[in-house]
Amino acid sequence: MQALLPPPDLIAKILLGFVVGALIGLERQKKLDAERVVGVRSFGLHSLLGTLSAYSTGILQEPVILIYSVVISVILVASQVYYKLFRLTGKGLTTPLVFAISFILGVVVGLDEPQGGLPFGTQSVLAMTVSFGVFLVLWFKDELAHAVEVITRDEMISAVELGVIILFLWPLIPATIMIGPIVYPLLTIYFLIVILLAISFANYLLVKKYKDKGVYFFGFFGGLASSEAAVTSVTHFYVNSERKGSGKISLSVVLANVAMVVRNGFLLIILDTSFRLIWLYLIPIVAILVFSLVRVVIEEKSEDNPDGQMFDTKLVSPFEFGAALRFAAIFAVVYLVQLALTTTFSDLGVIVAAILGGFVSAGAVVASVATLFFGGQITLSFAAYAVILASTTSVFNKMMFVYLTDRQTGLLKKVARDSAIIGGFFIIYLLALSMGLFP
């Protein structure tokens, strides 16, 4: 009886064959009316036709099956095109186009082979990814059309510049170069510049979209990628916006630190499956979250909150190459010093590297320390000290990046105040750990 049942990989193939088309048809179904005659069932069955024909052709070695299904698909798509062009003049061809795509995705699923003990392989993953991407493009069609309508010439040029930097320079950058006896991560420097440029562009768009609240979104989400880069970019934006709203900008810096600490916590969970380090890191996470909530309440109640919009995107450029290059230069210098100290002082170098590494990337320090601890190369207390020191340094380094971008002290004083409170608590907690007050 069991021999008559289809294998799990075939069942998964049939289900995926229908789903890759049905997902696209789901959006078409939402807009189903007299002008659209295909929906979830039609799209799903069309992609399933491709899956079954491709699978049957491979099993029976009869290409006529696939040819037959291709002919059927061409007839169905052609009828859709005819209906759109001659019966509904002036209507687009999106539905026939994505209807054809659904068949191709079904064929891709049918030709897929299971890998790694799973009932599906990379081709099925590709088909699902494309299907989901098409679904998003169709679902947010109105938002995309509106974005294209309101985009300015400078914004378009900036987006193209970022695309050129990523697509054309990436393959040309070597992963490392030798500077004397030191292997230097040139590709890492390149990624930092790209991240900062992308964050700068995102900062511009968020402020444009959400007005004054945009700097809050940018501070947190930019901090998930690089809190130092986020602070550099948002400070540069503050300078170019005639130094308005220092309270909001300083709160954005706090949120960047929150994102940095939360991200480090996730790194500890992922890299240290014993979860011993994350338990010691929970108190700093809770502390900075509470402080950020207090700051949000204070800032929203502040009298220095005019009714009008404080930040004007017309005063700034979507891209700031100068800020990106300055940040990359700082990273390069600190990285060399950190590497030299780690090599010279061995175990003690880990602590020194944690302090210096926090100036560049606390996440990199946390990841390396968690790996060393889980591998049994350093003790729990030693690892906890390094992680907290890196986070503390990363909180304090925001003052340096603010000062390098804005030499006036208005914003710097507020950032220094917030950093002193957060960093001070981290240091007190670190001293408590060293005295054995926490198990």
Claim to verify: residue 136 and residue 67 sit in the same structural domain: yes
Q: Determine which helix (DSSP H) or strand (DSSP E) holds 179, and give its type and residue range.
A: strand 177-179
Residue predicted with more confidence, 242 or 74: 74
Q: What is the pLDDT of residue 149?
A: 52
Q: Which residue has the tokens 């798509």?
A: 77
Claim to verify: residue 323 and residue 356 sit in the same structural domain: yes
Q: Which residue has the tokens 């390149």?
A: 190
> Could you tell me if residue 439 is inside a domain?
no
In this predicted structure, which of 209-213, 261-265, 320-324, 359-363 has the lowest mean pLDDT?
Answer: 320-324
Q: What is the pLDDT of residue 277?
A: 86
Average pLDDT, the chain: 76
Residue 117's contacts (CB-CB under 8 Å, 6 or more residues apart) are none
Q: What is the pLDDT of residue 243?
A: 80
Strand-pair partners of 182:
179
Q: How remote is the C-alpha of 246 from its chain's centroid?
A: 27
Residue predicted with more confidence, 310 or 12: 12
DSSP state of 1: -
- Count the helices and strands in the chain (H runs, E runs): 15, 2
pLDDT 10s digits, 352-393: 777 877 777 777 777 767 766 776 767 788 788 888 998 999
> Could you tell me if residue 298 is inside a domain?
yes
Which band of pLDDT confidence, cut at 50, 70 and 90, is reported for residue 425?
very high
Final residue of a domain: which of 96, 128, 146?
146
Q: How many distinct structural domains can be found in the chain?
A: 2
- Given CA atoms 68, 74, 77, 78 in this order, what sign does their dihedral have? negative
Percent of the chain at pLDDT > 70 equals 66
- The SS3 assignment for 302 reads coil
Residue predicted with more confidence, 361 or 46: 46
CA proximity to 359, closest of 339, 338, 382: 338
Claim to verify: residue 317 and residue 390 sit in the same structural domain: yes
Q: What is the pLDDT of residue 246?
A: 81
Cβ pair 264, 362 in contact under 8 A: yes
pLDDT 10s digits, 225-239: 678 777 887 888 788
> Could you tell me if residue 424 is inside a domain?
yes
Claim to verify: residue 421 and residue 323 sit in the same structural domain: yes
Final residue of a domain: which of 146, 176, 198?
146
Q: How remote is the C-alpha of 125 from its chain's centroid?
A: 20
Cβ pair 368, 382 in contact under 8 A: no
Locate 425 and state its tokens. 């608590």
pLDDT 10s digits, 182-198: 666 677 667 766 766 67
Q: What is the pLDDT of residue 212?
A: 60
> Could you tell me if residue 361 is inside a domain?
yes
Q: What is the pLDDT of residue 428?
A: 92
Q: Evaluate if residue 16 carries a pLDDT over 70.
A: yes
pLDDT 10s digits, 93-105: 777 888 888 899 9
Q: What is the pLDDT of residue 327?
A: 56
Q: What is the pLDDT of residue 238?
A: 80
Claim to verify: residue 67 and residue 185 sit in the same structural domain: no
Provide mean pLDDT across the span 52-62.
86
Q: What is the pLDDT of residue 162?
A: 65
Q: What is the pLDDT of residue 315?
A: 39
- Given CA atoms 45, 48, 50, 54 in this order, what sign does their dihedral have? negative
How far CA 93 is from CA of 79, 186, 408, in Å, comes to 12, 46, 56
> Could you tell me if residue 329 is inside a domain?
yes
Claim to verify: residue 140 and residue 271 sit in the same structural domain: no
pLDDT 10s digits, 135-192: 877 776 665 555 555 556 665 666 666 666 666 677 777 777 776 666 666 776 677 6
Claim to verify: residue 134 and residue 173 sit in the same structural domain: no
Claim to verify: residue 185 and residue 140 sit in the same structural domain: no
Q: What is the pLDDT of residue 1?
A: 45
Please report, as a single letter, which amino acid is at residue 227: S
DSSP state of 315: G
Q: Which domain holds residue 171?
A: 152-434
Provide mean pLDDT across the span 240-251.
80
Residue 221's contacts (CB-CB under 8 Å, 6 or more residues apart) are 202, 259
Final residue of a domain: which of 120, 146, 172?
146
Q: What is the pLDDT of residue 301?
A: 75
Q: Evaluate if residue 290 carries a pLDDT over 90.
A: yes
CA proximity to 73, closest of 32, 52, 104: 104
Q: What is the pLDDT of residue 316?
A: 45
Claim to verify: residue 182 and residue 122 sit in the same structural domain: no
**Start-to-end CA span in the chain (Å):** 59
Q: What is the pLDDT of residue 333?
A: 65
Claim to verify: residue 309 and residue 420 sit in the same structural domain: yes
Claim to verify: residue 104 and residue 250 sit in the same structural domain: no
Q: What is the pLDDT of residue 417?
A: 92
Percent of the chain at pLDDT > 90 equals 7
φ/ψ of 353, rounded to 5, equals -65, -35
> Could you tell me if residue 80 is inside a domain?
yes
Q: What is the pLDDT of residue 422?
A: 92
Claim to verify: residue 274 and residue 388 sit in the same structural domain: yes
Q: What is the pLDDT of residue 306?
A: 47
